Amino acid sequence: MSTPVIFGSDHAGYALKEQLKTYVASLGREVLDVGTNSLDSCDYPLFAFKLCDLVLEKNSLGILICGTGLGMSMAANRRPGIRAALCSNEYMARMTRLHNNANVLCLGERWMGPGLGESIAKTFLETEFEGGRHQRRIDLFDTL
């Protein structure tokens, strides 16, 4: 059984979060949502950290969305064990799973349409880490 896909956003990523939740559920994946739950202005680090804690607890994958994707990726990468990648295309999404074993995908609603978001999310969720020399390199994040 596959692990749930965990979603989080601030107000600027809320609409895309709702669209992508429906899309990812249609792929047959269980979806969890740590908020936000409206378009009311809020602070993205709160949702980034909530999502990261759940991703680590469930050993799962997460998708974080804000206006640009930048703030979410900066906040998420502060959590040890989280490898968050801001991706603007499917190639980046595929490579960050294959080589970086990214466990959080960051997207920006203000520059990306829902079709591109769906395509990037699908690629991210369906690509497996290659391991091998890439595991050695990831291990250096915590040992150097």
If the CB atoms of residues 41 and 143 are measured against ligand RB5, the closer one turns out to be: 41
In Å, the largest CA–CA distance within the chain is: 44
Closest residue to bound ligand RB5 by CB: 71
Site string for ligand RB5, 18-47 (x = CB under 6 A): --------------------------x---
With contacts defined by CB under 6 A, name the span among 24-32, 66-74, 81-89, 132-140 that binds ligand RB5.
Answer: 66-74
Least Cα distance to 103 among 27, 48, 42 occurs for: 48
Does 10 bind ligand RB5 (CB under 6 A)? Our answer is yes
For 127, half-sphere exposure in the C-beta direction (CA atoms, 13 angstrom radius) is: 25
Q: How far, in Å, CA of 51 to CA of 64, rounded?
A: 8
Contact call for residues 86 and 73 (beta carbons, < 8 A): yes
Q: Of 66, 107, 112, 121, which one interacts with ligand RB5 (CB under 6 A)?
A: 66
**Is 99 annotated as catalytic?**
yes
DSSP alpha helix (H) spans, 59-89: 70-76
Contact call for residues 73 and 85 (beta carbons, < 8 A): yes
Q: Of 63, 67, 106, 118, which one interacts with ligand RB5 (CB under 6 A)?
A: 67
| Nearest distance, CB of residue 8 and ligand RB5, angstroms | 12
Q: Annotated active-site positions, please?
A: 99
